Amino acid sequence: MALEETLRAVLVQGGTAPAALTRGFLAGLRTALADLPAGPGTAELAADLDAVLAAPAPEQPVAVVTAASPLRDALLDLAERLAPGSTSPSHDEGALWTAVHLNALRLSRREADLVRRAAEEAAVRSGAKLGRPGAAVTLHGPKDERLIPALKVDGRAVAPGLAVAVGGAPKTTGPVPAEMAAFAAMVPVLAGLDPGLHHCLQALEFSGLRGLAEPAARTGYVGHLNSRLEEVAGQRRHSGPWLESVVRLHEALCSVVHLPPAPEDSWWGEWRVACNDALSDAALDSGAGTVKFPPGRYRSVDDLTRHDIAIHYPERPGQVLACVRAWSSVHGIESPGRVIYAS
């Protein structure tokens, strides 16, 4: 079967984990391609991608209900406990398995380990087989991580999984800080898989948050992220304009959040911290300016931020939940930061 036919066969399985993952990869590739200079074959490749992505997903009747099974019931219970109301009767074991592991990424490491263990024990009890995600669903990163194990039920691959691997990762990307370059490659893929992700990138959404589950919102965000990557790559390393562009890239990456934002000791939170560290190092290495990240109590923020976003989160009233843009001063020109805080 030709590659295009294979892709169409996967995409037509609307609502399944393989379809969502494949669509996320192809959409990210198409957006990145649009931002590159024209070259041999790029127009033809873009047209082919448009044709594949334009294929309508089949409409699923409301009455369709996936057959019950002990594994599906266990995963459904886990998924609903993590994100109430996030499942539907059409979700099969693969979709629920993927959802549970995606939700684990926004939990503290301890809680995430408990959730993963519960999911894997349910899979083993049912006779399902766990595996290593293949190369097609492996992202480049600073360390090897299996974010979503591959899953086979009755010999059928129902979830391809998702992994991060050091092997084969591209060398340092020049002016783009390595941590930010790695995270920038992961975010578009995860945005295509995780319906709980939002963005608050002010250039696109001035005063609030928008769900990245909307294809138009996701396409707009990914295009803007790629533009900011190009801005950094086009500057002389350690210059003032380079530091300004790194601040803007940091904003694009840290503006992707769950509601409420994931804590610092979660997978997502650790990547936010890594981006903060990379930005701090960039400011120190350049000598062109300084950056600051607002403190934990919102009343202590003072004049470091502007156009902040308040969300109702009674568990942590008055706390800064996420810094989505750092305060910066480059060659004496100050730019305010921005935070999400609990009202």
Q: Report pLDDT digits (tens) over 220-229.
A: 999 999 999 9
- Percent of the chain beyond pLDDT 70? 81
Lowest mean pLDDT among 40-44, 59-63, 102-106, 243-247: 59-63
Q: In the beta sheet, which residues pair with residue 186?
A: none
Residue 77: CB atoms within 10 Å: 15
Lowest mean pLDDT among 71-80, 170-179, 182-191, 264-273: 170-179
Between residues 343 and 59, which one has the greater pLDDT? 343
For residue 115, the model assigns a pLDDT of 98
* In contact, 204 and 220? CB cutoff 8 Å: yes
For residue 40, the model assigns a pLDDT of 74
Pure H helices in 205-333: 215-233, 240-254, 267-286
Which residue has tokens 């990163």? 141
* In contact, 143 and 166? CB cutoff 8 Å: yes
Residue 2: CB atoms within 10 Å: 7
CB-based contacts of 163, cutoff 8 Å, min separation 6: 132, 133, 137, 138, 139, 144, 145, 146, 147, 148
Average pLDDT for residues 177-206, to the nearest whole number? Answer: 95
For residue 239, the model assigns a pLDDT of 97
What mean pLDDT, rounded, does the chain reach? 88
Report the run of H or E that residue 333 belongs to, with start and end. strand 333-335
* In contact, 330 and 240? CB cutoff 8 Å: yes
Sign of CA dihedral 161, 165, 169, 172: positive
Lowest mean pLDDT among 13-27, 109-123, 238-252: 13-27
Q: What proportions of the chain, in percent to the nearest 5, are helix, strand and coil?
A: 45, 15, 35
Q: In the beta sheet, which residues pair with residue 311?
A: 342
* In contact, 205 and 38? CB cutoff 8 Å: no
pLDDT at position 17 over 60: no
Identify residue 255 by its one-letter amino acid code: S
For residue 31, the model assigns a pLDDT of 61
Top-confidence range, 36-40, 84-88, 337-341: 337-341
Average pLDDT for residues 292-319, to the nearest whole number? Answer: 94
For residue 48, the model assigns a pLDDT of 74
Tokens of 240: 């003032």
CA 342 to CA 319: how far, in whole Å? 6
Average pLDDT for residues 116-133, to the nearest whole number? Answer: 96
For residue 136, the model assigns a pLDDT of 83
Average pLDDT for residues 171-193, to the nearest whole number? Answer: 89
pLDDT at position 1 over 50: no
Residue 58's pLDDT band (boundaries 50, 70, 90)?
very low
For residue 188, the model assigns a pLDDT of 95
Report the run of H or E that residue 29 belongs to, with start and end. helix 17-34
Three-state DSSP class for 9?
helix
Backbone phi, then psi, for 25, in 5-degree steps? Answer: -65, -45
Angle at CA 76, nearest 5°, toward 74 and 77? 65
- Give pTM, 2 decimals: 0.82
Of the candidates 237, 134, 225, 227, the one whose C-alpha atom is nearest the C-alpha of residue 185 is: 225
Between residues 212 and 207, which one has the greater pLDDT? 212
